[in-house]
């Protein structure tokens, strides 16, 4: 792709098909220096989050007997602040400090847990969900921008894979530990343990240097979001991944909202088993994330990995819902977890590789907001039509459609790659 010299349109750092699979012959380990504190903050935050959030959904379903519509409201309360906050923070992070933004976000996450602990009804859980949505809207753009500033470009896929490894390991430990505490004691014990862990990530961020992007820092303007979206849309692979991940996340959120009811009504299991299923999902994602961190020829293949990840998630959900047996659901959860490991780290690495550093935060926030908007849309559909939704057929359909979306995206990526190679050869 040639450089675009139109006003306000940043040139891509690197054309998407240069250095397909190429990497330096020797690569240094990524878990060192200030980046290790970013990884630790990610892991500890996820450990607290999954113990707390899984328990919150279990309480909504089993203690407060939430319907599919009420579970959809819980999804909405998370999505709305996440969408709006991600858009705003994507603008701020390109102009301020990703370190301090991350620290503020982690502090907000800690503050959300006592609200759930003291909740006496669904409204308390909805408030807690709103707070944690706002927290992650602050954390996600900040962590992506910070990673791209302190990790060499050739190691970005591995660095994001390392973050995913910490995240997925914490998913396993957080959900299994939360399930055990929920079974042995009660939800209050889970929330108290999660709060104790959630204190640590802000402290980790204090150990990270205050590095900031060196490019332009214009006044905050919503026009920059449109520019960020337009810049991403002109990039062939990011355009494909925008369509794939946004439409795919609609289906993923349908599964996420309805899964507690599926576990309760179809599998006939208790709330602790919901967390164990999340743990199996995390185990599969952990395996996939570890494999990603050990891969050495990933530059140029980020879009392929992302589409394969979407297809694997869909197939896992399809088997999970179609068979309707708890033991099979455990295996299918692990399988879809592998897909999640291949979804976000390569996508973030592609953004970090091809976007100028002063635009990475806002482009990331555009992707995050679009994906979460699709999740919000699916929650609203379930909210409005909750009484008409039959859980198992809805999940089977979501899994089949998600598989098809991933495969169609993979086909489009491969076609675009061939066209780019042919154009270079013709030139």
Interval 22-66: pLDDT, tens = 333 334 445 567 888 999 999 999 999 888 888 888 888 888 888
| pLDDT for 137 beyond 90 | no
pLDDT over 70, % of the chain: 81
Confidence at 18, pLDDT banded by 50, 70, 90: very low
Domains of the chain: 35-204+221-426 (1.20.1250.20)
Q: What is the pLDDT of residue 361?
A: 65
Q: What is the dihedral of CA 278, 410, 245, 229, to 10 degrees?
A: 150
Full DSSP string of 59-71: IIIIIS---HHHH
| pLDDT for 2 beyond 50 | no
Interval 241-260 mean pLDDT: 91
SS3 324: coil
What digits encode the pLDDT tens for the residues 209-247?
887 766 555 445 566 667 767 777 778 888 899 899 999
Lowest model confidence (mean pLDDT) among 50-54, 292-296, 333-337: 292-296
Q: In the numeric block, which tokens belong to residue 185?
A: 């004691």
What digits encode the pLDDT tens for the residues 376-413?
888 888 888 766 778 899 999 999 999 999 999 999 98
Closest CA to 241 of 127, 353, 129: 353
Query: Directed axis angle between helix 271-294 and helix 35-58, to 10°?
Result: 160
Burial 298-307 (b: 16+ CB within 10 A, else e): bbbbbbbbbb
Q: Is 28 exposed, middle or buried (0-12, 13-18, 19+ CB in 10 A)?
A: exposed
d(CA 186, CA 201): 25
Q: What is the pLDDT of residue 379?
A: 85
Q: What is the pLDDT of residue 3?
A: 40
d(CA 133, CA 289): 24
Element (H, E) at 46: helix 35-58
d(CA 128, CA 373): 19
């Amino acid at each position: 792709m040639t450089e675009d010299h139109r006003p306000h349109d940043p040139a891509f750092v690197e054309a998407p098909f240069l250095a397909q699979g190429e990497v330096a012959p020797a690569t240094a380990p990524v878990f060192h220096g200030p980046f290790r504190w970013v990884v630790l903050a990610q892991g500890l935050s996820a450990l607290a989050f999954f113990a707390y959030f899984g328990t919150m959904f279990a309480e909504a379903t089993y203690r407060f007997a939430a319907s599919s519509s009420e579970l959809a409201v819980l999804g909405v309360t998370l999505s709305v602040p996440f969408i709006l906050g991600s858009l705003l923070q994507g603008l701020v992070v390109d102009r301020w400090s990703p370190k301090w933004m991350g620290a503020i976000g982690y502090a907000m996450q800690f503050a959300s847990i006592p609200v759930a602990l003291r909740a006496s009804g669904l409204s308390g859980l909805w408030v807690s969900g709103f707070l944690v949505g706002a927290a992650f809207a602050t954390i996600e753009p900040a962590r992506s921008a910070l990673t791209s500033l302190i990790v060499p470009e050739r190691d970005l896929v591995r660095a994001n894979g390392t973050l995913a490894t910490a995240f997925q390991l914490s998913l396993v430990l957080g959900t299994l530990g939360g399930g055990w505490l929920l079974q042995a004691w009660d939800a209050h014990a889970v929330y108290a343990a999660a709060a104790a862990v959630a204190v640590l990530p802000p402290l980790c961020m204090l150990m990270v240097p205050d590095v900031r992007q060196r490019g332009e820092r214009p006044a905050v303007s919503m026009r920059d979001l449109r520019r960020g979206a337009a810049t991403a849309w002109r990039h062939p692979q990011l355009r494909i991944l925008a369509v794939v991940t946004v439409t795919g996340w609609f289906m993923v959120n349908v599964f996420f909202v309805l899964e507690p009811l599926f576990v309760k009504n179809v599998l006939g299991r208790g709330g602790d088993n919901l967390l164990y299923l999340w743990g199996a999902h995390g185990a599969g994602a952990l395996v996939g994330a570890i494999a990603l961190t050990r891969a050495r020829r990933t530059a140029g293949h980020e879009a392929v990995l992302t589409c394969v990840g979407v297809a694997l998630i869909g197939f896992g959900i399809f088997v999970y819902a179609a068979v309707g047996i708890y033991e099979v659901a455990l295996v299918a959860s692990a399988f879809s977890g592998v897909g999640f490991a291949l979804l976000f780290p390569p996508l973030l690495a592609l953004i970090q590789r091809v976007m100028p550093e002063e635009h990475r935060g806002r482009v990331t926030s555009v992707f995050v907001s679009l994906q979460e908007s699709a999740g919000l849309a699916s929650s609203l559909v379930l909210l409005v039509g909750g009484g008409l939704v039959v859980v198992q057929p809805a999940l089977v359909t979501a899994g089949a459609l998600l598989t098809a979306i991933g495969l169609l995206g993979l086909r489009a990526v491969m076609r675009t790659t061939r066209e780019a190679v042919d154009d270079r050869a013709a030139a």
